[in-house]
Structure 1
């Protein structure tokens, strides 16, 4: 399975997980520039949640959440700012959903992150 397929599978799992936990998916893979993409935009209890999904086959090289660099987080924040200029949003936060596929599927949801 190549990285693109792993990423897509992870985003599908993340959407199912979020929906199961009461989130409404508003958009997926929202691109603002070459470097600026928001994986999932959801709503939870009147709060817009911008979700970065990181998927790894295993944790051999660290957890999925550890793969988010400061530069990547800056790109996420840039995407959030673009979205906020286009939409009237009162409350929002940034979450990370980390998914490990092997030895079994594990989902870790980090809410309201800051780097």
Structure 2
């Protein structure tokens, strides 16, 4: 299986996880040019949620949440600002950044979900 296929499977599993919890997925793989990407943009009630998804086939490369570095956070914030600049209809809503780490035990996803991975003061 290619890296892209595995990544797509992880994002599909993450989207399904969010939908089951009442989120409405607005967009996947939003790209802000070379400035960054948001894996999933979704909405729950009056909150826009920017979700970073990380997949690990095994823990040899570490826990998925270890991949969220300060550099990655800066790129996520930049991409989120670009998204909100384009989608001004969401400008009065709350927003936050969440994280979904996925590892697989055979074909069964183990999902680590963390709300508010970025303090609002950073945004």
Q: Same fold (TM over 0.5)?
A: yes
Structure 1 window deviating more from structure 2 (26-35 vs 14-23): it is: 26-35
Q: Tell me the C-alpha RMSD between the 2 structures.
A: 1.5
Structure 1 window deviating more from structure 2 (22-31 vs 84-93): it is: 84-93
Is 1:112 the counterpart of 2:119 in the alignment?
no
Structure 1 window deviating more from structure 2 (77-86 vs 102-111): it is: 102-111
Q: Given that residues 13 and 109 in structure 2 are in contact (C-alpha distance below 8 angstroms), is that contact kept between their aligned partners in structure 1? A: no
For structure 1, the residue ranges without an aligned partner over 5 or more in a row are: none
- Give distance in 1, aligned partners of 2:34 and 2:109: 30
Structure 2 counterpart of 1:5: 5
Is 1:44 the counterpart of 2:48 in the alignment?
no
Structure 2 counterpart of 1:91: 94
Structure 1 window deviating more from structure 2 (62-71 vs 21-30): it is: 62-71
1:47-106 residue CA offsets vs partner (Å, 9 max, x unmatched): 000001000101222111111221111111100111122223320000011000135420
Q: Given that residues 47 and 94 in structure 2 are in contact (C-alpha distance below 8 angstroms), is that contact kept between their aligned partners in structure 1? A: yes
- Give distance in 2, aligned partners of 1:28 and 1:38: 7
**Given the alignment, which residue of 102, 105, 109 partners 2:105?**
102
**Secondary structure in 1 matching 2:13:** helix
Q: Whose helix proportion is higher, 1 or 2? A: 2
State the shift of 1:35 in Å. 4.2
- Give distance in 1, aligned partners of 2:104 and 2:35: 26
Q: Given that residues 10 and 55 in structure 1 are in contact (C-alpha distance below 8 angstroms), is that contact kept between their aligned partners in structure 2? A: yes
Q: Given that residues 6 and 56 in structure 1 are in contact (C-alpha distance below 8 angstroms), is that contact kept between their aligned partners in structure 2? A: no
State the shift of 1:34 in Å. 2.5
Normalised to the residue count of structure 1, the TM-score between the two structures is 0.91
